[in-house]
Amino acid sequence: MPFWQTSNGNGSAASSSTTTTSSSSTSSSSMNSNNSNGNNGCQQNQSNQLGETRSSLYYSTNAISFVTKSLLPTRRRLRLDPPNRLFFPYEPGKQVRSAIGIKNTCKSHVAFKFQTTAPKSCYMRPPGAILAPGESLTATVFKFVEPPENNDRQLDQKSRVKFKIMSLKVKGEMEYVPEMFDEQKDQVAVEQILRVIFLDPDCPSPALEKLKRQLAEAEAELEARKKPPEDAGPRVVNEGLVIDEWKERRERYLARQQVEVDSV
């Protein structure tokens, strides 16, 4: 066989081998690229699914927390006695009184305010106040009892009139003004809706005895609030003369010194 034929054959074989190898390499690179793109796509899909899962879990947790808070009873700032009723003696055509104890159970100052569905025939004393932590008072509620239409004095224990006590946390001691409840509406809490219950004044009962006790306490507290606070400062005597205690002491001291000098 001639030499050139042998070399051409080898060249063709080599060329064919090179082409096959190149094609195989290209195919392998393409497969690797496809596999890489596929893996990246899978990872991205998994990441998106994980993000969606976390987001749905976050919103689900918040929704459950909101529902739980809405179902749980609101923490009250005041303790009321009686807790949900106002007892009045049933005396048609007369103004009668009830009483309720109010105590601040918070660690901060709390303002409270009364409201009623019958402001023309009812009023409260005091209508509102600010209580320090642990402080309590007994409020008096006045109500006019409408006489029955048929002049029958039969006792009707229930009344449509209702009272509402609202509370508001305040910062320290300050003067009570009703407008603070309008200025901070989002912070106001309804403590209780109080229903009116009438009692027969001629029929002794534990509720009637307790009412009499609370009314006496309310009157005593009112008298105590009327007394002027004791002033630890300078004292004012009959004609408005201001007596300074330190001045008195100094004068007495100088008088003693003068006596000692004279005796020497």
- Write the pLDDT tens digit of every residue in 67-100: 554 454 567 899 999 999 999 999 999 999 999 9
In this structure, are 66 and 82 located in the same domain? no
In this structure, are 197 and 82 located in the same domain? yes
167: domain CATH number is 2.60.40.10
Residue of 159, 121, 155, 156 whose CA lies nearest to 141:
121
The reply to whether omega before 206 is within 30° of 0 (cis) is: no
Helices (DSSP H) in 72-187: which residue ranges? 179-183
- Domain closes at, from 72, 91, 109: 72
Residue 244 lies in a domain: no
- Domain closes at, from 193, 208, 226: 226
Total domains in the chain come to 2
| Domain coverage including residue 123 | 78-226
- pLDDT, greater one: 142 or 24: 142
Give Dmax over CA atoms of the chain in angstroms: 163
In this structure, are 146 and 202 located in the same domain? yes
Residue 102 has pLDDT above 60, yes or no: yes
In whole angstroms, what is the distance from residue 127 CA to residue 112 CA?
Answer: 8
Residue 118 lies in a domain: yes
Residue 236 lies in a domain: no
Band (pLDDT 50/70/90 cuts) for residue 44 is low
In this structure, are 107 and 208 located in the same domain? yes
Task: Quote the percentage of the chain above a pLDDT of 90.
Answer: 48
- What does DSSP assign to residue 36? H
Residue 91 lies in a domain: yes
What is the tens place of the pLDDT at every residue in 162-181?
A: 999 999 999 989 999 999 99
Residue 249 has pLDDT above 60, yes or no: yes
In this structure, are 33 and 160 located in the same domain? no
